Amino acid sequence: MNEYLFPFRLFVRVAYAGSFSRASRELGISQSSASRIIASLERDLGAMLLIRTTRAVALTPAGATYLANIEPLLAAFDEANLAAKGGEELRGRLRLGIHPGMCLREIVPKLSSFLDFHSALSVDLVADQPQQGRIRDHVDLFLQVAAPEEATTAMRLIGSTPRVLVASPRYLLGRGVPDSPVALITHSVIAGPSPSGAGSWLFSRNGRAVSISVEGKMTAHASEVAMSCAVSGIGIISTGLWSCQAELDSGALVRVLESWDMGDIKLYASLPAGAAANTVARSFINHLVSEFHKSDFNNCIELP
């Protein structure tokens, strides 16, 4: 690691970790050395960047501004070095936030293949609900599902999966198989954490659109819990094909109203507000696009 840039990289790690001890462990130096280096940086700048307490470390207003300005510069430096080396193995640490459920099922295996190629790379993996917004500004990259109208300029489309209705054979044996969207009114619905969980379900076929208002017999606030409820025979769930592919393959779930289109669920990479994508984050985005492009059931776009 470039010695001249080390204080700046250390400052970024301390700022995100909120701890000198954790940042120093990650960078392989002592806590006292980390504290001394940051203090020297603050003296050189003539500004206090961090507030130290016995419990945590927080950014000062000057520190927050400095962080927003220094990260794109470090990212540009890393990009230039990687380009000069011809795309050699990546090093450093990727702070990756993911949405539970579908992302856990689809992202973790693809993360494994990425790390096989970049064995010197370390990853901080944090799972959280995107609407809670607690971690998105504290990671290099956040992966989430969102409706197209929710997308922003800071988000990049990774891929999409069809939205489907599924239920267990046991449930359908007892309650019957709905033969039209309107028939769902008499069925048990499991409301999941996503917008597709309950409310109005929109169907289309042959140019005909049908909107059905559904009320969840049960509400599950985690995707995996909702899936378990469907497998156990409680009711019908609306979810992405990614999320239930394993259960469909095993026969634990079967599709309902398969001839009707419910649109797609899209996976986006969201970058922290005001931060440029660093080399590792952008490389992982491109890796995901390439991996998802190999799948038969999704559509991806290439990043510029």
Radius of gyration of the chain (CA): 23
54 close to 44: Cβ distance less than 8 angstroms: no
Give the residue from 186, 131, 151 showing the smallest Cα distance to 265.
151
pLDDT at 87 > cutoff 80: no
CATH architecture of 1-88: Orthogonal Bundle (1.10)
Give the residue from 278, 300, 287 showing the smallest Cα distance to 78.
278
What is the per-residue pLDDT for 152? 56
DSSP state of 232: T
Identify which has the larger pLDDT, 106 or 180: 180
Distance in angstroms (rounded) separating the CA atoms of residues 237 and 62: 48
Distance in angstroms (rounded) separating the CA atoms of residues 169 and 299: 29
pLDDT band, very low/low/confident/very high, at 296 (cuts 50, 70, 90): very low
Mean pLDDT across 75-103: 70
pLDDT band, very low/low/confident/very high, at 25 (cuts 50, 70, 90): confident
Reduced to 3 states, what is the DSSP secondary structure of residue 200? Answer: strand
Distance in angstroms (rounded) separating the CA atoms of residues 18 and 52: 9
Tokens of 159: 């891929």
DSSP state of 20: H
What is the residue-wise DSSP string for 258-295? TTSB--EEEEEEEPPTT-PPPHHHHHHHHHHHHHHHT-
Mean pLDDT across 161-171: 93
Instruction: Identify the CATH class of 160-264.
Output: alpha beta
Distance in angstroms (rounded) separating the CA atoms of residues 287 and 111: 9
Break the chain into its structural domains and give their ranges. Answer: 1-88, 160-264
Count CB atoms within 10 A of the CB of residue 255: 14
153 phi-psi bin (left φ>0, alpha ψ -120 to 50, beta other): alpha
Side chain identity at 189, as an amino acid letter? V
Q: 């634990």: which residue's tokens?
A: 252
Distances in Å between the alpha carbon of 292 and those of 88, 172, 268, 302? 23, 32, 12, 11
pLDDT band, very low/low/confident/very high, at 250 (cuts 50, 70, 90): very high
Helix and strand counts by DSSP (H, E) for the chain: 9, 13
Tokens of 245: 């592919």
pLDDT band, very low/low/confident/very high, at 257 (cuts 50, 70, 90): very high
pLDDT at 135 > cutoff 90: no
Distances in Å between the alpha carbon of 197 and those of 60, 143, 260? 41, 20, 17
What is the per-residue pLDDT for 283? 82
What is the per-residue pLDDT for 151? 54
pLDDT, tens digit (0-9, with 9 covering 90-100), for 33-86:
999 999 999 999 999 999 988 777 888 999 989 987 887 777 677 667 766 665
Give the residue from 262, 223, 238, 198 showing the smallest Cα distance to 98.
223
Distance in angstroms (rounded) separating the CA atoms of residues 27 and 11: 11
Question: Among 21-30, 134-143, 147-156, 225-234, which stretch is predicted with the lowest mean pLDDT?
Answer: 147-156
